[in-house]
Amino acid sequence: MEQSPISAVSSLIFQSKMGRLELRYTVKIFSEGITEWHYFDTLRAIKRFNFTMEPAIPQNGKSSYKQNLKLIDRELKKNPQERADAIFLVIDMDTITKDNKQYAQYLQTKAKYEKMGVTFIESHPCIEIWFLYHLMEKFGHTSYQVYEDVLTPLRKVLAGYEKTERYYRSNRAFAKEIMLSQDNRNRAIANSIKACKYEPIEGEVHNYTKVHEVVRLFRMLQSVNNLRVAISEFMRIPVSLKPTLDANGTMHVTTNVNGEQQPLCLLKYDGLQLRCIVTSTGEAYDLDDSTMIDYRHRLIEVLSTTINSTNE
């Protein structure tokens, strides 16, 4: 039975005494099963990422990436104004890499869809490696081939871990260590980056995950919203910002000037550090992607000056 996707529709809304503006950016996450759904749904609720998820909960069982691509095809056929700004396909690689012919076909399909703007969020062997990275104090290369291989070390740090709705909803250790801990999530991001940079030798099984790319997207969206709030407070007028993500993971931020979008700044990660680069001057500022930015920050003054100058 074809399974519906996780559909994460992000709409960040700014409210102030000076009126109401919206920072609207839609994201759709197409995924395989209940683990991914619960992870992103819980992250949405805890971090207030302000996106809704459809369906209410996926059906039991797993769908193949080919089934999800059929759903993605429907999304890609929509008018640009109706299509999601970002499309993610979250996928476990263990079964795909078992067969060389199947893997070669997958790589061709991946290249095709990436050209159309779809981002593949792979985990090898499965998303549980992302959970394990939360609790891995020091990164070390691993060669787990299937889910059962990851389960043994994962249960050493998350006793009783299991792929069930009951576990994800009620287990306190999972909630504390995986969902609530900002430090552990940052550790998982750091370990994931190292894993993705690792270059395996020929024939070597290599574990990695790209789930951090989704987490970082939502952090960047929050940072754009934080910039907008701070700029509006500094200028004492509502300011509209529009984010656009390119294929390299850089977020281009524009502002509306006389009905046209004008470049304002870029947001990009340098390792673990989020940086804001002012388009007009090339100045770079480090941002804390987990907190609001104060309107008195030098960056806010520079961006506000840029907006004023383009309005003249």
**Cα–Cα separations (whole angstroms), residue 293 to 223, 230, 231:** 8, 7, 10
Taking the CA atoms of residue 231, residue 232, residue 238 and residue 240 in that order, the dihedral angle to the nearest 10 degrees is 20
How confident is the model over 298-308, as pLDDT tens digits? 999 999 999 98
Q: What pLDDT does 3 receive?
A: 46
Indicate whether 37 pLDDT > 80: yes
**Domain boundaries in the chain?**
7-216, 222-311
- Name all contacts of 173-179 with Cβ < 8 Å and 24+ positions apart: 175/42, 177/134, 177/135, 178/39, 178/131, 178/134, 179/39, 179/42, 179/43, 179/46
Helix (H, G, I), strand (E, B) or coil at 213: helix
pLDDT of residue 260: 87
Q: What is the pLDDT of residues 161-204, one digit of tens each?
A: 999 989 999 999 999 999 999 999 999 999 999 999 999 988 89
- Helix/strand/coil for 260: strand
Q: What is the pTM of this model?
A: 0.88
Q: Cα–Cα distances in Å, from 260 out to 247, 254, 255?
A: 23, 9, 8
Q: Is the pLDDT of residue 286 over 80?
A: yes
Residue 96 clears pLDDT 90, i.e. is over it: yes
